[in-house]
Amino acid sequence: MIRFCIFLIGLALYSCEYFNVKKISPEAILNEELRTFNWDEVDAYPSFTACDSFSSKQDQKQCFERILTKHIMTNLQQELIVVTQDINDTMILQFQVSETGNLSLQGVQMDSITSREIPNIKDLLFRSLDSLPEIFPAVKRRQKVKSEFKLPIIIQVN
């Protein structure tokens, strides 16, 4: 019986380790969350009202890019552009949509011939963005976030 009591006391002392709760600081939880967080992916891409009818994230992204491209091309086609040689270039426009839905042109990659033949192309692009419809910003974990993306625009002037 004494052995059994010693065994129970030993077991009780040893099992106390199972009841120790490790306290984790909020900073440690935040650091772990930030490490596993995918910063390159958003839950919802920026969009226009016309894109709300699409259910999938990819369809909404394509709708947003299609409307933006069409708007820029329509405005550029209304401009009188005179060139001395034919231009067939794909410009890469770098955009940023702020948390409030403001679209800004961050940069333009284009061929040197295009920039030489159409020196005011950046002004034309900035002007084309002035009349865009309302943009809803990207969403990450139910929070509006800043997002950046690139958009190819094909310029053909004869």
Per-residue pLDDT at 37: 62
pLDDT digits (tens, 9 = 90+) for 87-101: 888 889 999 999 999
Q: Average of pLDDT values for 2-25? A: 69
Q: If pLDDT is split at 50, 70 and 90, which confidence band does 44 have? A: confident
Distance CA 156, CA 73 (A): 11
Instruction: List the domain boundaries for the chain.
Output: 2-36, 49-157
Measure Cα distances from 51 to 23, 44, 75 in Å: 46, 11, 21
Distance CA 2, CA 14 (A): 18
Nearest to 78 by CA among 133, 151, 131: 131
Distance CA 77, CA 85 (A): 17
Among 22-26, 40-44, 129-133, which stretch is predicted with the lowest mean pLDDT? 22-26
* pTM beyond cutoff 0.75: no
